[in-house]
């Protein structure tokens, strides 16, 4: 199980229904949730239904917290190999990049 995260926008292209334009679609395992808690970072469930531009500062802060607590968070790498400190950082960085590219897009996390 994990989070599915999308960044996109509904665009009217003149057809019968709006067209969904997606700039980010990546998921990540729940196995790293303990890292968010340990670092004091804002968890992915709190990113849902926000504008991408409004999430930029949150993600920058999360990445700084992850870097600050790297050793403690790496110790929480799941034993089953699903997810890791590095994969959680990479996922957040990729999302941050998408938010910077499309700040008016909507972020959805399910």
pLDDT for the residue 82 = 94
Query: Cα(23)–Cα(101) distance, rounded to whole angstroms?
Result: 8
- C-alpha–C-alpha distance, residues 26 and 24, integer Å: 6
- Structure confidence by residue, pLDDT tens digits, 55-98: 999 999 999 999 999 999 999 999 999 999 999 999 999 999 99
Phi, then psi, of 94 in degrees rounded to 5: -60, -40
The residues pairing with 29 across neighbouring beta strands, listed in sequence order, are 2
Nearest to 95 by CA among 77, 110, 74, 109: 109
The pLDDT, as a whole number, for residue 74 is 98
pLDDT at 3: 95
Domain boundary assignment for the chain: 2-109
pTM comes to: 0.93
Contact (CB, 8 A) for 108 and 49? yes
Q: Predicted confidence band at 1 (pLDDT cuts at 50, 70, 90)?
A: confident
**For range 35-56, the mean pLDDT:** 98
Q: Which two tokens stand for residue 101?
A: 């590219």
pLDDT attached to residue 11? 92
What is the average pLDDT across 101-105? 97
- Secondary structure of residue 88 in the 3-state scheme: helix
pLDDT digits (tens, 9 = 90+) for 19-42: 999 999 999 999 999 999 999 999
């Amino acid at each position: 199980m994990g989070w599915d995260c999308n960044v996109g926008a509904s665009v009217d292209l003149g057809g019968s229904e709006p067209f969904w334009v997606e700039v980010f679609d990546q998921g990540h395992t729940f196995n790293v949730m303990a890292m968010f808690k340990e670092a004091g970072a804002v968890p992915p469930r709190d990113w849902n239904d926000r504008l991408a531009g409004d999430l930029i500062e949150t993600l920058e802060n999360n990445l700084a917290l992850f870097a600050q607590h790297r050793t403690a968070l790496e110790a929480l790498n799941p034993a089953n190999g699903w997810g890791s400190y590095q994969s959680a950082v990479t996922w957040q960085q990729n999302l941050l990049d998408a938010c910077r590219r499309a700040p008016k897009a909507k972020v959805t996390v399910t």
